[in-house]
Structure 1
Amino acid sequence: MATPSAGTPRPGVQVGSASEFSLFFRVRPGHEDDLRDAVQVLQDSPGYRPGDYNLPIATIHEARFVLFDGGTRLLFATSFDGPWDSYMEDFASKPLQLFDSIFRHVEGYEGLPDLTAVKDFILSAQVTAGAYARNYPGTVKEIRKALRVNEAFQQVLDDPGAGDALRHPVLKPLLNEAADA
């Protein structure tokens, strides 16, 4: 069940360990093409390229920028693990040049000199979702570990010398799960 984040009133709906986060901005008149270019530069940057799976903010499940209303509005939507304040601190501790290059094209942006400015800017554009659902439990850290464990297990399965060990009855549930398509 989706619930508002607990503690200090903060934006977003929380499901399990993750919270949703949606920001809506008005694009400064005449900045549409520059904004599109800035979003493309972000998309082409390490950690943001399709298939990189290594976003600089390690608690983010996914993130997207969407230009809409003929390029006059910008949506930034994401979901992340943990409390909103921790997410903001993590965000503000990273090099923000790529985000600065995007946000400078929206109304109300005057730079992000400190954490208070980051929070104020974000809160000015945030809208809590009416509904939010997830298709899997777990944090980004847990999911990445599960993927590493699966990759290591696949290597064991591919090893020709593993046959005898894999016949041990204690491994039956693991092997049954691995065989499940």
Structure 2
Amino acid sequence: MTTDIAPVEERLVMAQTVTNQPDGPGRRIGKRGELTMIGNVVPGGAALFRERLPQFQAEAGYWEGRVGTVQDFRILLFDNDTRFILSLVYDGDFEPYLVDITTQAGPWLDAIGTGVLEGYPGMSSPKAAEWVKSLLIPAEFFYVGAPDSTVRDIKRMEKLSKAVGDMLDAAG
């Protein structure tokens, strides 16, 4: 069986420049930053999280739509439900993102974190930013498929694509 693999020079043409966030922890490629937190789950927190999970999932579009910069967001419980990983990709710099999640999605994040995540102070607490920063671990490897397209750009392209498709369907 032959595998066609391009020469290394050709594979490196699409290399992305990965930098550190200019104003906080995490990596950055183009307009996108990454944030990964690892922490502990309080005893009984996993059951509470899973009980609330359908509501969290159902409301995600609303709350993250208010923030307006989140590309993707995931939370995983592991080590027999004693630890969590929270990981996301967002548009822009770290500090404005932190302000946005606090002001725009605080009630939702409080429902997710209260009684579940060890030490969670609540998004309205003056200690919220300190708590988030204390659990952050910059990614060793980070890649994004469209580093210069923001959530706003993608939504605009989706609307444009639908409008063009509708126009072609009407003309067809």
TM superposition score category, shorter chain reference = 0.7 to 0.9
1:122-179 Cα distance to aligned partner (Å, 9 max, x none):
101111000100112311111111111111111121122xx7xxxxxxxxxxxxxxxx
Letter of the 1:64 partner, please give it.
R
Of 118, 142, 149 in structure 1, the residue corresponding to residue 153 of structure 2 is 142
Report runs of 4+ in structure 1 exceeding 6 Å deviation.
none
2:60 is the counterpart of 1:34: no
2:90 is the counterpart of 1:76: no
Residue of structure 1 in register with 2:6 after alignment:
none
TM-score norm. by structure 2 comes to 0.81
Inter-CA distance 98–70: structure 2 relative to 1 (3 Å threshold) = same
Inter-CA distance 80–93: structure 2 relative to 1 (3 Å threshold) = same
Residue of structure 2 in register with 1:109 after alignment:
120
2:101 is the counterpart of 1:91: yes
More divergent stretch after superposition (125-134 vs 88-97): 88-97
5+ long unaligned stretches in structure 1: 164-181
Residue of structure 2 in register with 1:172 after alignment:
none
Q: In structure 2, what is the Cα distance between the partners aligned to 1:14 and 1:142?
A: 18
Residue of structure 1 in register with 2:14 after alignment:
none
Residue of structure 1 in register with 2:35 after alignment:
21
Residue of structure 2 in register with 1:4 after alignment:
20
Identity %: 25
Residue of structure 2 in register with 1:65 after alignment:
75
5+ long unaligned stretches in structure 2: 1-16
Does the 8 Å contact 1:11/1:126 carry over to 2? Answer: yes
Q: In structure 1, what is the Cα distance between the partners aligned to 2:60 and 2:122?
A: 23
What is the count of residue pairs matched by the alignment?
154
Q: In structure 1, what is the Cα distance between the partners aligned to 2:105 and 2:26?
A: 24
Inter-CA distance 100–141: structure 2 relative to 1 (3 Å threshold) = same
Of 154, 173, 181 in structure 1, the residue corresponding to residue 165 of structure 2 is 154
Displacement of 1:45 after TM fit?
1.9
Does the 8 Å contact 1:88/1:118 carry over to 2? Answer: no
Displacement of 1:56 after TM fit?
2.8
Structure number, greater radius of gyration: 1
Does the 8 Å contact 1:25/1:107 carry over to 2? Answer: yes
Does the 8 Å contact 2:64/2:105 carry over to 1? Answer: no
Instruction: For residue 61 of structure 2, give the secondary structure of its aligned residue in structure 1.
Output: coil
2:141 is the counterpart of 1:125: no
Q: In structure 2, what is the Cα distance between the partners aligned to 1:23 and 1:17?
A: 20
**Root mean square deviation of aligned Cα:** 2.0
